[in-house]
Every structure is written in C-alpha cells, then in structure tokens.
Structure 1
Amino acid sequence: MTHPTITPCPVGIQATGMRQERDSMGQIAVPADKYWGAQTQRSLVHFSIGTDHMPLPLYHAYGIVKKAAALVNAAEGRMPQWKADLIAHVADEVSTGELDAHFPLYVWQTGSGTQTNMNVNEVIANRGIQLVGGTIGSQTPIHPNDDVNMGQSSNDSFPTAMHVVTLLELEDRLIPEIEQLSATLHRKAHEWQAVVKIGRTHLQDAVPLTVGQEWSGWATLLDDALKNLRHAKDALLELAAGGTAVGTGLNAPQGFSKAIAARIATLTGRPFITAPNKFAALSGLDAMVRASAGLRGLAVPLLKIANDMRWLASGPRCGLGELILPENEPGSSIMPGKVNPTQCEALVMIATQVLGNDTTVGFAASQGQLDLNVMRPIILANCLHSIRILADGCKNFRVFSVEGTTLNRDKLAHYVNGSVMLVTALTPEIGYDKAAAIAHTAMQENLSLKDAALKSGYLDGPTFDRLVNPLDMVGHGTGGA
C-alpha cells in the first residue's frame, strides 16, 4: 500500500476569505490563509480578552512534545511511520518558529490549556495535509485528535510542554545572563578590592570597608540566588506525559510515559524523566511554583544591587556620588544635561514585576482542585514573562551600566577622611564611652576626628595615627570568618 509523500512547499496558505472547518460541535468559518482549525477559532471568539497572547516559546516546546509522541507511537506500531515522519516534520517547523503566525490564542482561556493544545494539533494537521497535497481542513490523512494527539490529553501534554519550555528558557536564556552579570560583578570586586570607602548602615555613616568588598557582597548574593534556582529547576525534569486525562493513563499504551519522556530527553539534550506520580503531576504544579520562587529569589538581590548602585551614584554634585555610571541617554526633557541611572531603574521595575508574577503563580497553583489544576496558562505566562524580562534586563544592566561603571576616587577619599565613625578603632584602646565622647565633640563642634581626639586628652597624635588607619580597619577582604 502506497502512502503520501511530502512535497516541500513554503510555509503559508495562498488563499483569501474564509473556509469551513469542523470539530465535534459542528462547522465554523476560519480564515482561509491560516492553518488553525475549528477549536482554535472558537477560542478566538469566546476568549478575545485583552492583548496577552500565549507565549510563543510554549508552542516551540509543544512542537518537541508532538514530535516525540508521534515517533513513540510509530515505534510501538500504533501509527504508520510515514504519518509519524510527517507530523515530526511539521513539529520541527513549529519548534523553529516557522509557524508562529498561526498561534493566536490568548492567555485567558480554559485553565487546562486545551485550546492551546488543539491549536497546535490543528496547525500540525493542516500543514501536514498541505505537504502531502491534501485538502486543508479535510482532516485527512492527518487528523488533529486521532493522529497528532494520539496517546495524549491536554491535561498531560500542556504541563509537559510547560516543564520543557520553562527548563529550556531558564537554561538557555536566563542562567547564562546571570552568570555573565555575576562574573562582571566579581571582576569589578577584584579590581577595587583595595579601594577604601565608608560603609553605611541604617543609611548613616559606618566603619570603612573597600569598594571591592561591597561589590563582592552583591556578587555573592546573586551567586547564592542562582544556586537556589538551579536546584529548583531540577523538578521540571519530571514530565506528566502519559497520565492523559486524570493521571490513570487511559488511552495511552503501557510504557508510553517512559518512552515519550526518553524521546523528549533525546530531542532536547536534557535528562527528562516521567513523573513518578501522574496524579500529582496533573492536580498540582509544585515544580512551576519552585521555579517561580527561584525567579523571585533572583529578583530580590537584583533589586538591592540596582538600588545600591543608584544610591551610590546619586548626584553628581549633591548626592553620594561615589560611583560614576555610564551616560546612555538624556535624562530630562526640561533639565539640560541631566543624566539618570536608567538601567538601575529598569532593573528595579523588572524585579518588582517578578515579585508580583510570583505572587500570582503561588496563588494560581493553590487552585488545583480535585484531579486537575486549571490555572496553567496564567502560571506558564507569568513564569516565562519573569524569565524573559530578567534575562533581557540583566543583559542590559550589565552591558549598559555595570561594565562601564567607574569610581569617583576623590569623593571616596573625601568621605573616608571626614568620617567620624573611624572613632570605632579607638574603642579597644580607650573604651566605648570615651570614644563616643570624642565622636560627639567632633560632630557638635564640626571638628575633624583627630582634632576632637586630641582635644579630649584621651590620647596623643602618634597614638591616634597608629590606631586610625582606614586600610587596617577593612579586615582581610573576603568577608569570611
């Protein structure tokens, strides 16, 4: 028996007007130049809410899932090899973004993601039909449910695609940017390890440390957050595929769950495995919660770093003015010459948004009533949004701010020389109370610390010079015990 052969043709349908597509509820008119079918069109009618579309990377991951399913079904004899190859061919087009224009659905849809799953099934079916010279919309020889969705349910394929795309976006998009930002912070910390500055606690003057020590603290906070994110993302390696509708695996053959997980692992180069309990995989979304919490954990130190930098760069003449940030663009439409710490401000807004996204994810994940969590689209959209803006924001922050930041060494030295809190170094010699009296005298009479110390009579000049050496007060540089 012969089977259709693929006749390569460019992506796209050269047609105008509308065509009729059908599903189990009957017929509906669909734009003739689109690959989607009836269920996608019904979703566009019923869920045209806002402008928040399902993220395209999800569809790219769905292409991987559909290809894996088809190849497993063929290997197990449930599907002719030619049909699996055809589905796999189109699924590759989905994964590479060639069919992005045919995925129009909104985030605000059924909470299981069924319409998104069917959007993928319909596009793959119709594109496959086109490639073998069939009639688009005929569902022959490729059927969106019977063939593209074979052995699957939206209830297990959507969370599978969620895990795949979230892991890939974390590893390919976000983590490399965090690593580069961390490396830049560490490099600056090493470069400025011996530059003494005045510390500040409670936004008030404190004892000295070095610029490098301060920056090493920022870098370590970021490293720790990244370590936690790496640990959290490992839970995404467990896939729901094979659980079908409620976790029992109805309509999926024995061994399908392990086989499709192994195939997805091969296609992605990541060690995906089947989730050990499909009831948990379908009714809960704890792995996504952990990933979102890891993103929140990154946002917190990033917010601190960006805010610290803009405080330290405040001025240039009437603020702290210790850091000099790159001047990227004019800062004011009314004040000529004004330049603002815009990259810092953008990163603060990004971190704030991520904190809000995580709150949404956490609450949505709590809505896993009975045997299915039906808040999946909003959880997925918020996680991917956080990943994208964190990755882009960290790249811009590094390239346009951190890498070009320099020191105002004169201002740093001025603050060190004028600080009263260097008095702390006198405490072991003369005691806390006498040192405090010297500090109060210096501040009340606007004296230098040395002049106030000599006026007190508690110690002489050589002793003061021996004790009050800022470089001797910054420890051994690492902040370790």
Structure 2
Amino acid sequence: MAQHEAAQQLNDRRREKDLLGEAWVPHKAYYGIQTQRAQENFDLSGIKLSLFPQLIKALALVKMACAKTNNQLELLDDTKTDAIMAAGKALLAGQYHDQFIIDMIQGGAGTSTNMNANEVMANIGLESMGHQRGEYAHLHPNNDVNMSQSTNDAYPTAVRLSILLKHSDLVKALASLRDSFAAKGEEFADIIKMGRTQLQDAVPMTLGQEFQSFASTLGEDIKLIDGLSELLKEVNLGGTAIGTGINTDPEYARLAVGHLSQLSGFEFKRATDLVEASSDMGAFVLFSGMLKRLAVKLSKIANDLRMLSMGPRCGLNEINLPAQQPGSSIMPGKINPVIPEAVNQVAYQVIGNDIAITMAAEAGQLQLNAMEPLIAYNVLESIRMLTQAMDMFRNRCVRGITANRDRCQELVDMSIGVITAVVPYIGYENSTRIAKNALETGRGVLELIREEALMSEEELNEVLKPANMIRPQRRRLAANAAKIA
C-alpha cells in the first residue's frame, strides 16, 4: 500500500531543473520550477498575480508581440510561434489565470512574474503541440517564450499595458459618479440653503449648486487621468537587460513595439533613450499622483455628505443618505453613513499607496529599479479600489440622496449669514452692528433691519428673493448712500 502511494505521488509530480538544481513540481501545474521557488520565497501580501487579470493579459500580449517579431526575423519557427500565440490567446480569454500564483510583492525586479508567464505559456503551448508539460526541449520558457527579452523590458512594458487595460474602467466609474452628482444638482436646483466656510454660516446658495460643485470637481479629473495615460504608452521593449538591446536584432525593438500596438489596440512608442527608460519610474509617480488627487476629492465629498446628513434631529440634517444597514448594536434606530465612511477609507489607502510608489520609484539604483513590483501592485490596487469605491458610492449612496427642503429653509431663516445680502444697501458698519445685536439677543436679522427702518419691505423682499442671493446682481449703490452713512 505504501509503495502504491509513493508511486502515485511520483505520478502526480514532474522533475524540473534550474540554476539552483532540481525540484518536484505538481504534474497538473502549468507553472514550473522558478514559479514554484518564488511562491515559496514570497509569502508577503497574500495578493496573487491572479487577482489582476489585466496584468496577466498584458504579459500575454507582450509575449505574443515578441514571438511574432522573432518569427518575422526568422529567429523562431512557425510551430513554436503558433504555440506561443495559442497560449497567449488562452490567457486573453481568461483561461489558466489560476496558474499565476506568485505574490504581487516580490524581490527580483519582477523576474518571478516574468518567469511565471514564461512557464505557463510554455506548458500551454506544449500541450497544443502534443507534448507533455515540462518537456521544454520542444518549447522552452527562456529560450523560446522569453526570446529577445529580459524581465527588465518585458515586465515594465506589461505593467504599463495592464494599467491602460484597467484605465477605462476607472474613467467609466468616475464619469458615472460625476453624472449622478450632476443629476442631483438639477434635482435640488431650487432648494435654498446656507453655505458654510470654516464650518460657520456664510451666505445662501442652493443645494443644487453644492451638488453640482461635486460633479464639476470630479469632471476635471476625467480629462487629466486620460491625458496622463499617454505617458504610459512610452515603453522600453527591446532594451532587454539595461536598455542597450543586447541579444536582440537591430530591427527587433521597432518591430516588437509595432506588433504590441497592433495586438493591444494602444498606440505604443519606443522610448527615445532605452537606458533611461529602463530605470525611470516617473510616469508611474505622475499617474499615482493623479489617483491620489482623485482620492482626496472623493474623501472630501464623502466628508461633506456625512456632515450635511448628520442628525437626524440634532445636526444639520439638510439631506438624507439612503439607509444601508443598522448602525449600532446598542442604540436602536441608529443609521450610520457607512458608504461615505468606506469611501474615506479607500481614499486613505490610495494616499498611502502613493507614498509607497514614491519611495519605490526613488529607490532605483543605476540602470534598474528593483522595486517595480511594489509600484505595479500599488498602482493597480489603487485603480481597482477607486473603481469599486466609486461604483459603490454612486449605486448605494448618491442615487438615493433626498433633500430636507423645510430644514434647509429653516436654517437660512435662522442664520446671521443673510446679513451679507443687504451689505450693499445698508453698509458694512450697519450690517456688523445688526449681526452683533442678533447674536447677542437671539433676534432675527430681518426683524432688526425692519425695526430700524434701514430698508423698506419692498427692498427686503427683492433682495431676499432666492434668485437674487445665489448669483451676481446689478445694484445701484448711490440710492442707498444715506442708509450706509
């Protein structure tokens, strides 16, 4: 029985070798010995490559472009090229992604990720050729799948492409959230409320203006994020180890970038200085900075919504956020603003990711930045979290917000801030005195103005029309000279 079990275990494994020697690999695995070593070495974040399908697809596209180029240059025969292309198409279709088992955070400047792709594509290709997994004499991970490449040009190119592949989801989520706030701006266009500066009463505005401002600030970032994505289309593919292009044909870099553009649908261009491009992470720093900017804006909006809805009876309570779940295990009836709170936390994580990206970009030495796996992980994770957070924000919060019209009007009527609207008619000194008196006595500003006959009822009614308090108006100050004096 023991001999049978031992024989079965041998049948379930295959023997592979690399620079460090030999090791057993599960026979069913499409990855190989180098991937297995990396899995054993790097158990850090628990976040595997398979969580980011865009990165896997980007790696496949890079390998496919390189295979087509090597075939065009008569360096790779048709049979091997077809096998690599078939493997790439399978990965693009979402197959075999569970074979990408390495932690996103890893040493080696991405070599483990590159070899994970090389080994998986080699073994998928071997099966399509009628061979067993691990029979690398017929299609080799390094000699064939990685031909004319180094991790140092294939991996950075794939990372850039993966961001571009995910980029459209981010922009779509951002545009949809902007549109939802704009729709609320129209819905609340006639609701007068108090604006606030430094958490103190300021001057009247409409609730619609407030929500439209949320839409406007998010709309600014759509164009900026789109524009920054162009920086990611400059790649160092063909530079191999340090940008000199060692082990490649003189025409290889130009052809490989062209094939990658054709396969991916993005217009890539070869960096003018491949040595510089192999170590510089500036594009990622800029793009991450833009993600941080968006996170800051989302967090500010989430904070505003939480303040505007606070109460319901002992706070501002100008708006109602849709209830999503009970808010307390001890306080019956309590509903918390859980969706904006979750948006806040995503924003803080993205801001932290940006700091990590900045430090990793600075940490490159000489002709390579070995910290790029951390950069790739954090940029992709920031995009993923922001996209999901904005969809959640829109679907579970913004769409269902309602306004408390009477409460908004009540706060306007109680506010000292309306005094600003009459300054051009009675002067700053009179206005200051009236405001101070109102604060000390608890009486209304309008009541005191009427008592002193500083303005007629007709003038007050005209000035205090909602339409006249929320936008610039032409006034004749000369007619009020006596009151101001």
TM-score normalised to the size of structure 1?
Answer: 0.93
Q: Deviations over 1:451-473 (max 9, x none)?
A: 12233453444443333334311
Report the counterpart of residue 87 of structure 2 in structure 1.
Answer: 90
Distance 1:340 1:476 in 2: 38
Distance 2:377 2:213 in 1: 32
**Is 2:42 aligned against 1:47?**
yes
Distance 1:282 1:225 in 2: 29
Distance 1:212 1:175 in 2: 24
Report the counterpart of residue 20 of structure 1 in structure 2.
Answer: 15
1:130 Cα deviation from its structure 2 partner: 2.0
Match of 2:341 among 345, 355, 373: 345
Return the letter of the residue paired with 2:179.
Answer: A
Equivalent positions of 1:105-116 (< 5 A) are 105-116=102-113
Distance 2:175 2:292 in 1: 17
**Is 2:257 aligned against 1:261?**
yes
Provide the aligned C-alpha RMSD in A.
Answer: 1.7
Report the counterpart of residue 365 of structure 2 in structure 1.
Answer: 369
Does the CA contact (< 8 Å) of 2:204 and 2:418 recur in 1? yes
**Structure 1 moving runs of 4+ over 4 Å:** none
Distance 2:329 2:472 in 1: 47
Does the CA contact (< 8 Å) of 1:15 and 1:33 recur in 2? no
Larger displacement relative to structure 2 (442-451 or 53-62):
53-62
**Is 2:164 aligned against 1:167?**
yes
1:230 Cα deviation from its structure 2 partner: 1.4
Match of 1:102 among 95, 99, 115: 99
1:15 Cα deviation from its structure 2 partner: 9.3
1:424/1:293 CA distance change after superposition, 3 Å: same
Return the letter of the residue paired with 1:216.
Answer: Q
Distance 1:15 1:473 in 2: 83
Distance 1:272 1:406 in 2: 46
Report the counterpart of residue 6 of structure 1 in structure 2.
Answer: none
Q: Deviations over 1:112-131 (max 9, x none)?
A: 10111011101111121122
Distance 2:322 2:238 in 1: 53
**Is 2:241 aligned against 1:234?**
no
Describe the SS at the equivalent of 1:331: coil
**Is 2:423 aligned against 1:427?**
yes
Distance 2:353 2:459 in 1: 57
Match of 1:148 among 145, 164, 167: 145
Describe the SS at the equivalent of 2:418: helix
Q: Deviations over 1:386-417 (max 9, x none)?
A: 00010011001101111111111111111122
Describe the SS at the equivalent of 2:95: coil
Does the CA contact (< 8 Å) of 2:27 and 2:133 recur in 1? no
TM-score normalised to the size of structure 2?
Answer: 0.92
1:16 Cα deviation from its structure 2 partner: 6.1
5+ residue gaps, structure 1:
1-13
Q: Deviations over 1:415-466 (max 9, x none)?
A: 1222111111221122111101111111211111111223345344444333
Return the letter of the residue paired with 1:41.
Answer: Q
1:382/1:50 CA distance change after superposition, 3 Å: closer
Report the counterpart of residue 199 of structure 2 in structure 1.
Answer: 203
1:275 Cα deviation from its structure 2 partner: 1.7
1:16/1:403 CA distance change after superposition, 3 Å: farther
Equivalent positions of 1:51-450 (< 5 A) are 51-54=46-49, 55-171=52-168, 173-450=169-446
Describe the SS at the equivalent of 1:421: coil
Does the CA contact (< 8 Å) of 1:423 and 1:468 recur in 2? no
Does the CA contact (< 8 Å) of 1:361 and 1:379 recur in 2? yes
Does the CA contact (< 8 Å) of 2:463 and 2:469 recur in 1? no
Does the CA contact (< 8 Å) of 1:71 and 1:85 recur in 2? no
Distance 1:476 1:427 in 2: 14
Describe the SS at the equivalent of 2:400: coil
Report the counterpart of residue 27 of structure 2 in structure 1.
Answer: 32
Does the CA contact (< 8 Å) of 1:285 and 1:365 recur in 2? yes
Larger displacement relative to structure 2 (100-109 or 176-185):
100-109
Describe the SS at the equivalent of 2:134: coil
Describe the SS at the equivalent of 1:396: helix
Distance 1:48 1:386 in 2: 21
1:358 Cα deviation from its structure 2 partner: 0.6
Does the CA contact (< 8 Å) of 1:439 and 1:452 recur in 2? no
5+ residue gaps, structure 2:
1-8, 474-485
Does the CA contact (< 8 Å) of 2:232 and 2:283 recur in 1? yes
Distance 2:390 2:434 in 1: 45
Return the letter of the residue paired with 2:104.
Answer: V
Describe the SS at the equivalent of 2:365: coil
Aligned residues: 463
Describe the SS at the equivalent of 1:403: helix
